Amino acid sequence: MLDFKEVSFSYDSKNFQLEKVTAHIPKGQVTTILGPNGSGKSTLLKTVAKAHLPTEGAVLLRGEDIATCPMKQFARRVAVVYQQNEAPSDITVEHLVSYGRIPYQERFRGMTCEDEEAVDWALSVTGLEGKRHHPVYALSGGERQRVWIALALAQKTPILLLDEPTTYLDLYYQYDLLDLIQSLNVQYGLTVVMVLHDLNQAFRYSDTVLVMKEGRLVANGPPERALTEERIYDVYGIQMTVRYEEAIGWYTVPLKGR
């Protein structure tokens, strides 16, 4: 569905944040971008979001270079939830989520029935129906993050990008949010690309992982294949044990040593 073709990116044409990244993001799967701080994870996500245009190479969406796609049209195909978001303090949940319909709105025209249905749907799948008239600032951190995901869902795109969606959330809300993302993927076939730090969460929720180191892609594939103990040591510089837990049915990655 999404392809990186030798994508390089640099702010100053000297120090490259991304170097010739080539990868394929499969349709209908959850793909997680991993790597230490400064490895180019978020930069890679931003090239898919069209926040950065590649200095070299191209990002292809269904074979078409996204650089040539007008932004409003692109926003009907790819939705993004950034790590840090800003909104007026008194805005209600419903009003903020309705901004997800901006890509469909003509100038000087209000919301259509279709727009309202999309907002209702987004509020419903994120469990925010009961909070629609609440001001966003009155919600908990986890609920606010759901509001931003609802805004992205109201865009009705087949692809959802999330930049470190669990940052600032406590453990409960981290897993609550990742469960929601997984259910969106399973129930609605949404293609999800997200940046995460936690390897346990990456194992638990990803179909594919892209592992970045110093701007280069060093591994790409299912987590159990791409995240070996050797690779984790090579990328992060710490020794972790990767083991399959029969009792819970997935992998855990406890610390072995430094």
Partner 1 sequence: MKQWFWIMSVTILLLLTIIMSATTGTLAVTPISFIQGLWSGHDPHVEIVKDLRLPRIVIAIFAGAALAVSGILLQAVMRNPLAEPGIIGVSAGASFTAVAAITLWPTLFFYMPFFAILGGAFAFYLVYRLSWSSGLDPLRMILIGVAINAVFTSLGQVLHFSGGISLSATSDVAMSQLAMRQWSDVRIIVMYVTLGLIAAFSLFRGCNHLSLSDATAHSLGVPVQRLRLVISAIAVLLASVATAVAGMFLFVGLLIPHISRRIVGTNHRYLIPFSALLGAWLILLSDTLGRTLIAPQEIPASVIVALIGGPFLIMLLRRERHFARF
**Smaller CB distance to partner 1: residue 70 or 237?**
70
CB of 132 to partner 1, least distance (A): 16
Give CA–CA dist 257/240, Å, rounded: 7
Taking residue 87's Cβ as centre, other Cβ atoms within 10 Å add up to 16
SS3 label, residue 120: helix
Report DSSP letters for 157-182, one per residue: -SEEEEESTTTT--HHHHHHHHHHHH
As beta bridge partners, residue 95 has none
CB of 175 to partner 1, least distance (A): 20
CB of 136 to partner 1, least distance (A): 7
**Smaller CB distance to partner 1: residue 161 or 227?**
161
**Smaller CB distance to partner 1: residue 101 or 213?**
101
**Smaller CB distance to partner 1: residue 62 or 72?**
72
CB of 88 to partner 1, least distance (A): 4
CA angle 25, 27, 31 (to 5 degrees): 45
- Which contiguous run of DSSP H or E holds residue 111? none
Inter-residue long-range contacts of 62-68, CB under 8 Å, 24+ positions, other chains counted: 62/1, 63/3
Phi, psi of 19 (to 5 degrees): -130, 110
**Smaller CB distance to partner 1: residue 123 or 242?**
123
Which residues contribute to the site for partner 1 (CB under 8 A)? 49-51, 70-76, 78-80, 82, 84-91, 95, 99-100, 102-103, 108, 136-137, 144-145, 147-148, 155
**Which residue, among 53, 2, 54, has the nearest Cα to 210 in the 3D structure?**
2
What torsion, rounded to 10 degrees, do the Cα atoms 92, 94, 96, 97 define? 160
CB of 137 to partner 1, least distance (A): 5
191 touches 158 (CB < 8 A): yes
CB of 97 to partner 1, least distance (A): 12
CB of 249 to partner 1, least distance (A): 34
**Smaller CB distance to partner 1: residue 7 or 97?**
97
**Smaller CB distance to partner 1: residue 163 or 209?**
163
133 touches 95 (CB < 8 A): no
